Amino acid sequence: MTFHFSRNHCLNLEDSLRCEWLETNSLGGYASSTILGCHTRKYHGLLIAPLKDFNAKFNLLSNIGLAIHVAGKVFHLSTNKFPEVFDPTGHKYIDSFDCDTHPITTYKIGDITFIKELIMPQYENTVILKYKLQTSSAPIKIHLHPRLTYRQIHELTHDNIYMRVKTYTMQANTYKIQPYDSMPPLYFDTSHDVFFHPGPYWIHNFEYLKERSRGFNYHEDLFTPGVFEYEMKAGDVLYFRASLDQPTSSGKSLFDEEHKRRLKEKKQYAKDSIPLRTLKQHAGQFIINNVRGETSIVAGYHWFDEWGRDAMIALPGLTLYCGKDDEALAVLKTYAKHEKNGLIPNYLATSGNEHAYNSIDASLWFFWAIQQYCAKTKKTNLVKKDLFPAMENIITAFCQNVVRHVHLNDQGLLWVGNEHTQLTWMDAQVYGQPVTPRNGYAVELNALWYNALSFYCDFCDQNKIKYDSHLREILIRLRESFISTFWREDLGYLVDVVNDNGQDQSIRPNQIMAVSLPYSMLNREQQEKVASCVETHLLTPYGLRTLSPQNLRYQPEYSGAPAKRDAAYHQGTVWPWLLGHFTEATLKCADNPKEKAGKMQKKLSPLWHSHLRIGCLGGISEIFNADPPHTYKGAIQQAWSVAEVIRALTLLEKV
């Protein structure tokens, strides 16, 4: 799938401002904006990087204003939103925007054809812009205005007296600025001699439309240290680099190497279908080397960090289904290393070891991810060597009831949490209170527990590892008690939660895990009924609803201020990541899997065709509204959304 947008599309602000691109650097950093270069979010910027000393991601360089001077006239090619006005309106000069391997904008002004490209090299907190004057009957001058933010990604910058305004020239074509004493410096360098005009100033009241719609503050001031000037004639190229590191190689060579790497990766997936190829090309955006030097997974862009639950669910689709088996093992080893008291961390801190252990299912999804790794690679020897100690610790901790907020009852079921905790994936809270209280016996946690324990026992048997025979007895009791606790023959589905208040009979997608996981407690008839119930009540073209529309608590739209959005987060809102397990379950139950796969591909085609060109180009959003037209919401590029859609589409295509 190519991402080409014509002049007419770019002139339509309503459409073009909805199309966003994302560049990443495999360190957790990124660059992102709309196809016009007009920021609509406080998370947009050209250089966003995790700073270890601050345990957070920082937006350092917002954008670079671009203007062409020719024959006494000035053409401003940037587009910015201010209160009640767009100024300047450089989008009117855009002839096309392309984003195959990286963002490329082509401008047309009379006989001038000017091209701007942007790329982030892998493993560097660096952004490189390539400016080329392709055609022009006369020389031109370009002016580049770097605009700095230097703030955490969730905050906004405003005019202040603490900004240090001096820019230092280190050597020819290399410049250094350190806006604040406590912050790292930013280095600028160019491939040719440029003239730098020092002239620090603030530009006030940039306006971010997406933040306004999300109920957040949406005005920001940006700081410009001065202007870079360069004269060009037809055929000339200028590379402009901004980096947290002092340059040691040319920006041109770094740009070309990164472009070559991406072309090679693209070729790797040439035999896949177009949507699958596109998704696989973007899957690597989530796999990072974090600040501790570990291989990990970013849960989503722009604002998510390293989340254990998301990482385990996303791991197979991002790695094993994309030919990255080594990366899969490396991620598993990272989380195994941080296992503590039977829990895989649900959040890895950017620095230090103050990780969060506030989920139960991350540890159980850890077993599922290992299952997928074993099935794909057959490298059980590596699992035994590198992962088994963590597996053993988790099983032992759960069975001995030493995991906080978890109790294993005599029937083998897991009781989790209390009325004040949110320990499952449906963890939204409003004013400190759970929106979807799921304390007690949660259906997917117990399905995951049965799967994990079954896999553990079989793995030990197959690898001649001694283990407590009592575990097999727990499995027998668990199988029977799961059915008696959750199955409702009169309703034809599994209830969602059972606790002191009785059965929560809400139709939710969590029950599908009892069908899709490799080890299931349900017989064939029960599996078919669960799959049918979920399809009837919850399936949309973009994923599964989190609650049936027939439920009085159903929320059709995810919108408004944060509290209102959180109240709808798991009360109907559609999640694409659930499609992986739904697809697996549905194909398992189908009398004619090939026919069923064809119908599902038709049903879900909007997700991996039209949606890939709206929102984050080539990516899958975090969530969608529950009711048609199912507008995309949340993070524009979510790890488990991309991963599980890759897995679902692969399963459907190979039937």
> Could you tell me the CATH number of the domain that includes residue 584?
1.50.10.10
Q: How confident is the model at residue 55 (pLDDT cuts 50, 70, 90)?
A: confident
Backbone φ and ψ for 600, nearest 5 degrees, come out as -70, -40
- 103 has which bridge partners? 99
Regarding whether 608 and 498 lie in a shared domain, the answer is yes
Q: Please report, as a single letter, which amino acid is at residue 228.
A: F
pLDDT bin (cut points 50, 70, 90) of residue 169 is confident
The residue-averaged pLDDT of 243-253 equals: 93
- CATH number for the domain spanning 212: value is 2.70.98
Count H helices and E strands in the chain, helices first.
18, 40
DSSP string for 350-416? SSTT--B---SHHHHHHHHHHHHHHHHH--HHHHHHHTHHHHHHHHHHHHTT-STTEEE-TTSPEEE
Contacts of 165 (CB under 8 A, 6+ apart): 200, 225
Whether residues 245 and 372 share a domain: the answer is no
**Assigned token pair, 331:** 């991620």
> 558 and 611 share a domain?
yes
Where do the DSSP E strands lie in 54-212?
56-70, 73-76, 79-82, 85-89, 94-99, 103-109, 112-119, 126-135, 140-152, 167-171, 174-177, 186-190, 195-207
C-alpha 283/C-alpha 388 separation (Å) is 27
How crowded is residue 511: how many other Cβ atoms within 10 Å of its Cβ?
24
Amino acid at 13: L
pLDDT above 90 coverage of the chain, percent? 93
pLDDT of residue 163: 87
Read off φ and ψ for residue 94, nearest 5 degrees.
Answer: -75, 125
At residue 167, the pLDDT reads: 67
Domain assignment of residue 186, given as a range: 4-263
pLDDT score of 165: 76
pLDDT tens for each residue of 15-27: 999 999 999 999 9
Of 263, 292, 311, the residue at which a domain comes to its end is: 263
Shared domain check, 540 and 441: yes
pLDDT score recorded for residue 168: 76
- Return the pLDDT at 115: 98
C-beta neighbour count of 640 within 10 angstroms:
30
- Of 229, 263, 297, the last residue of a domain is 263
What is the mean predicted confidence (pLDDT) over 439-463?
98
Q: Is the pLDDT of residue 453 over 70?
A: yes
- The rounded distance, in Å, linking the Cα atoms of 242 and 188 is 5
Q: Are residues 428 and 298 in the same domain?
A: yes
pLDDT over threshold 90, residue 232: yes
Which candidate, 412, 411, 438, places its Cα nearest to that of 425?
A: 438
Q: What's the pLDDT score for residue 225?
A: 93
Q: What confidence tens digit (pLDDT) does each residue in 498-525 have?
A: 999 999 999 999 999 999 999 999 999 9
Q: Would you give the DSSP letter of residue 431?
A: T
Among residues 20, 46, 35, the alpha carbon closest in space to that of 79 is found at 35
Mean pLDDT value across the chain: 96
Whole-angstrom distance between the N-terminal and C-terminal Cα of the chain?
A: 23
The whole-angstrom separation of Cα 541 and Cα 526 is: 25
Instruction: Determine the residue type at 151.
Output: R
Contacts of 592 (CB under 8 A, 6+ apart): none
Specify the 3-state DSSP secondary structure of 472.
helix
What is the C-alpha to C-alpha distance for residues 310 and 101, in angstroms, rounded to an integer? 26
C-alpha to C-alpha distances, 420 to 95, 401, 427, 438, nearest whole angstrom: 55, 20, 11, 10
pLDDT at 353: 66
Model-level pTM? 0.96
**Residue 644, H or E segment:** helix 639-653
Considering the domain architecture, whether residues 252 and 281 belong to the same structural domain is answered as no
| Cα–Cα distance, 398 to 492 (Å, whole number) | 31
Pair 146, 64: CB distance under 8 Å: yes
Q: DSSP per residue over 15-62, as a string?
A: HHTTEEEEEE-SSS-EEEEETTS---STT-EEEEEEEGGGTEEEEEEE
The amino acid occupying position 532 is: S
316 shares a domain with 230: no
Total domains in the fold of the chain: 2
**Closest among 314, 256, 252 to 285, alpha carbons compared:** 314
> Hey, what's the torsion of the CAs at 376, 382, 386, 388, to 10 degrees?
70
**Is the Cβ–Cβ distance between 538 and 586 less than 8 Å?**
no
What per-residue confidence (pLDDT) applies to 352? 67
| Pair 471, 552 in one domain | yes
CA distance linking residue 338 with residue 348, whole number of Å: 9
Alpha-carbon distance of 206 to 547, in angstroms, equals 39
Q: Are residues 325 and 201 in the same domain?
A: no
Asked if residue 270 lies in contact with residue 633, where contact means CB atoms within 8 angstroms, the answer is: no
* Same-domain status, 310 and 246: no
Q: Which residue has the tokens 């399963």?
A: 651
**Which residues partner with 230 through β-bridges?**
142
Instruction: Give residues with Cβ within 8 angstroms of 183, minimum separation 6.
Output: 58, 150
pLDDT at 350 over 90: no
CA 319 to chain centroid: 14
Overall average pLDDT of the 259-288 stretch: 96
From residue 230, alpha-carbon distances to 68, 78, 94, 444 in Å are 10, 17, 21, 61
Smallest Cα–Cα separation from 228: which of 199, 186, 250?
199
Does residue 193 sit in the same domain as residue 314? no
* Residue 300: strand, helix, or coil: strand
DSSP 196-257: EEEEEEEEEEEE-HHHHHTTS--EEEEEEEEEEEEEE-TT-EEEEEEESS---S-HHHHHHH
The alpha carbon dihedral of 274, 652, 369, 326 has a sign of negative
Contacts of 638 (CB under 8 A, 6+ apart): 299, 300, 304, 576, 577, 619, 620, 621, 622
Alpha carbon of residue 508 to chain centroid: 24
Please write the tens of the pLDDT for every residue from 112-145.
999 999 999 999 999 999 999 999 999 999 999 9
Do 278 and 244 fall into the same domain? no
pLDDT at 512: 98
Among the candidates 263, 296, 311, a domain finishes at 263
- The three-point CA angle 648-650-651 to 5° equals 65
**DSSP label at 434?**
E
Q: Compute the average pLDDT of residues 559-574.
A: 94
What value does the CA radius of gyration of the chain take, rounded to a whole number of Å? 26
